[in-house]
């Protein structure tokens, strides 16, 4: 965070044709969230007063995704893709009344670091361009610097051999005072081969008006942009490698780090143990000392200290596990709270339920929570015992210390301390099985 008021403009209007996809490029997922979510998450380090996302291709889908990721952000529409300068110009009306530093980020550049953004935001120059040194500058625009800071940005096609030898190149990210940006954006021209308005013209316009323009540098890895499926896969690998290293540094045990997959916002406390082939979707928090056994998939859930999950368990959004809860193999939990000490050993579905302390849920138990239109809640009190293969037809309440007989279909509330058995009485027919099988075999033979 910085004392300088900050605003973010995130450019997310491009189609990304090289992705070969109907989905807008910035909505392709990295670390479990859309690419644009990484830029928004990085920008939170500045505690921005305004956030504007410029959408174009697939604007409705981008709007919905941004609303989930950053509810305070507003959407500016760029109906025609006429360049980065034109895109930023569409965002400016949403910054009316804002006086401070504006940072322009890209929705397809996910790895910009917090320190880099703070350096851009707190710099005293009127305009700051983010650059990086690279051994292979390729077709990047070159940053030509001198005693007075950044002299000019030279595009590769316009550069002579001496300029092309420069290894300091432009990332595209830029920071400028809001008032200056409002003045300079309308001055950008489109007298170029593409007929587009480029944000890279801002530094030259600023210098021409006597303003100070400087460069802040970062590691090349922070500037990685995603343009193809191959680049997305490489970025995912880089993200996962970094996330695993950070988890290990924070005191988390990863039994087989290469097989654990993290989301952008995964939070795991020290001394937690994560088995192999565990996948974290967005919104997972695991407290210290919990253990996730192999082959689990977790999303939108909270697991308290001392709990164990898995193997082969699935926790869906809204799952809340208290301390010392045990969730075993082939258990699925959705939008349910399990209080301290609950045991759910295996082969069970719990949805829209609240399970009281120390209750035991037998194998094959299902909360029948959905009637085809509405979801209904199941409540089970403390110290209850739910027999194997119990169907709990919600809405229903099972009292404290109550029991259900195995194979029961429970459709009515059970009082505290009571036992409910809801199944047909068994009828045994001596010798009928042998006679039936003999008749069937004879029929097959004919």
- Binding site, annotated residues: 11-14, 25, 78, 83-84, 106-108, 141, 155, 170, 227, 316, 334, 349, 360, 363, 369-370, 388, 406, 423
- CA atoms of 91 and 237, how far apart (whole Å): 33
What angle (nearest 5°) sits at the alpha carbon of residue 38, between those of residues 318 and 285?
Answer: 30
Residue of 288, 104, 238, 252 lying closest to 178 (CA atoms): 104
Q: What is the DSSP letter of 231?
A: H
Q: What share of the chain is helix, strand, coil (3-state, %, to 5)?
A: 25, 30, 45
The whole-angstrom separation of Cα 110 and Cα 234 is 12
- Output the six-digit token pair for 1: 């965070």
Cα–Cα dist 319/378, whole Å? 14
Binding site for Mg(2+): which residues? 108, 227
- Which among 57, 297, 326, 346 is annotated as catalytic? 346
Give catalytic status of residue 123 as yes or no: no
Give the DSSP H or E segment for 30: strand 29-30
Alpha helices in 250-287 (DSSP H): none
Q: Which of 289, 322, 329 is nearest to 306 (CA)?
A: 289
- First-to-last alpha carbon distance for the chain, in angstroms, is 84
Rounded to whole angstroms, how far apart are CA atoms 32 and 43? 18
Contact (Cβ atoms closer than 8 angstroms) between residue 213 and residue 124: no
**Annotated binding-site residue numbers for UDP-N-acetyl-alpha-D-glucosamine:** 11-14, 25, 78, 83-84, 106-108, 141, 155, 170, 227, 316, 334, 349, 360
Residues known to be catalytic? 346
């Amino acid at each position: 965070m910085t004392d300088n008021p900050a605003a973010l403009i995130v450019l997310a209007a491009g189609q990304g044709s090289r992705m070969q996809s109907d989905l807008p490029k910035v909505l392709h997922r990295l670390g479990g969230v859309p690419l644009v979510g990484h830029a928004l998450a990085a920008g939170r380090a500045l505690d921005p007063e305004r956030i504007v996302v410029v959408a174009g291709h697939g604007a409705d889908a981008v709007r919905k995704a941004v609303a989930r990721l950053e509810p305070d952000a507003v959407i500016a529409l760029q109906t025609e893709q006429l360049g980065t300068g034109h895109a930023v110009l569409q965002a400016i009306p949403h910054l009316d009344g804002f006086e401070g530093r504006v940072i322009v980020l890209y929705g397809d550049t996910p790895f910009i670091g917090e320190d880099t953004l703070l350096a851009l935001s707190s710099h005293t120059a009127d305009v700051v361009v983010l650059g990086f040194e690279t051994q292979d500058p390729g077709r990047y625009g070159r940053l030509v610097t001198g005693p007075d800071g950044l002299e000019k940005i030279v595009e590769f096609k316009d550069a002579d051999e001496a300029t092309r030898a420069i290894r300091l190149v432009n990332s595209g990210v830029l920071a400028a005072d809001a008032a200056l940006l409002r003045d300079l954006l309308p001055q950008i021209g489109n007298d170029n081969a593409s007929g587009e308005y480029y944000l890279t013209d801002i530094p030259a316009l600023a210098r021409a008006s006597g303003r100070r323009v400087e460069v802040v540098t970062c590691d090349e890895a922070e500037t990685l942009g995603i343009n193809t499926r191959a680049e997305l896969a490489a970025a995912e690998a880089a993200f996962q490698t970094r996330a695993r290293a950070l988890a290990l540094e924070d005191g988390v045990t990863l039994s087989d780090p290469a097989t654990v997959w993290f989301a952008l916002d995964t939070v795991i406390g020290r001394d937690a143990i994560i088995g192999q082939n565990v996948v974290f979707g967005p919104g997972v928090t695991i407290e210290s000392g919990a253990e996730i056994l192999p082959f689990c998939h977790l999303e939108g859930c909270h697991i308290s200290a001392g709990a164990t999950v898995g193997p082969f368990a699935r926790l869906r959004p809204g799952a809340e596990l208290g301390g010392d809860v045990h969730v075993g193999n082939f258990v699925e939990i959705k939008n349910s709270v399990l209080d301290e000490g609950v045991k759910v050993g295996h082969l069970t579905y719990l949805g829209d339920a609240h399970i009281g302390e120390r209750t035991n849920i037998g194998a094959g138990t299902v909360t029948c929570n959905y009637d085809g239109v509405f979801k209904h809640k199941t409540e089970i009190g403390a110290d209850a015992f739910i027999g194997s293969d119990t169907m709990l037809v919600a809405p229903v309440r099972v009292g404290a210390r109550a029991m259900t007989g195995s194979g029961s279909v429970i459709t009515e509330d059970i009082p505290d301390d009571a036992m409910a058995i809801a199944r047909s009485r068994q009828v045994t027919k001596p010798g009928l099985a042998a006679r039936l099988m003999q008749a069937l075999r004879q029929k097959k033979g004919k």
